[in-house]
Amino acid sequence: MIKPWLYDNSCVDYSTVTEHPSTSTHTPSKSSPSTGHFLVMSVRLTSSNLWLSPYSQHQQVLFDLIRTKHEDEGLNFKEISDWMVENDYKTPRGTTFTQSKCWSIYTKKKRSINRFYRTFEPDIKEVKVDIVNYQPPG
């Protein structure tokens, strides 16, 4: 079904095509707003990276330290929390580090990275061409 309000030709034409036969002979009429050629396309795009949770610079520094100590240096979270306390690091809420706080920062950010940075293949559901009031030449 064609929705006439969707094809409102009374608006300004911003087309860059100037030498097409249909543009030189086409004169929009307010009484018949559904004349002309139109391409209608529906695309369904699935994405997970349209929004990221706010993560402060301090939180990022803490995560990077914990990740480096755990993944690269092979320390467990108890050893990491002891190192953080010895080097006067505080949690994002200003408290002393414990094993569970190191584990929590690490696992929550890793889960967030896995959720927000995954990729999806584009999923094109429907592509159709509607030609409105077209009369072949001749």
Three-state secondary-structure class, residue 126: strand
Alpha carbon 58 to its chain's center = 25
In total, how many domains does the chain have? 2
**Is 128 contained in some domain?**
yes
- The predicted structure's pLDDT at residue 100: 96
Q: What is the mean pLDDT of residues 22-38?
A: 50
For the question of whether the overall pTM of this predicted structure is more than 0.75, the answer is: no
Query: Are residues 36 and 72 located together in one domain of the fold?
Result: no
**Is 137 contained in some domain?**
no
pLDDT of residue 87 exceeding 70, the answer is yes
Burial 46-62 (b: 16+ CB within 10 A, else e): eeeeeeeeeeeeeeeeb
Identify the band that residue 4 occupies on the pLDDT scale cut at 50, 70 and 90: very low
**Is 74 contained in some domain?**
yes
Q: What is the mean pLDDT of residues 113-126?
A: 73
Contact between 4 and 33 under an 8 Å Cβ cutoff? The reply is yes
What range defines the domain where residue 108 resides? 57-116
Query: Are residues 63 and 111 located together in one domain of the fold?
Result: yes
pLDDT of residue 120 exceeding 60, the answer is yes
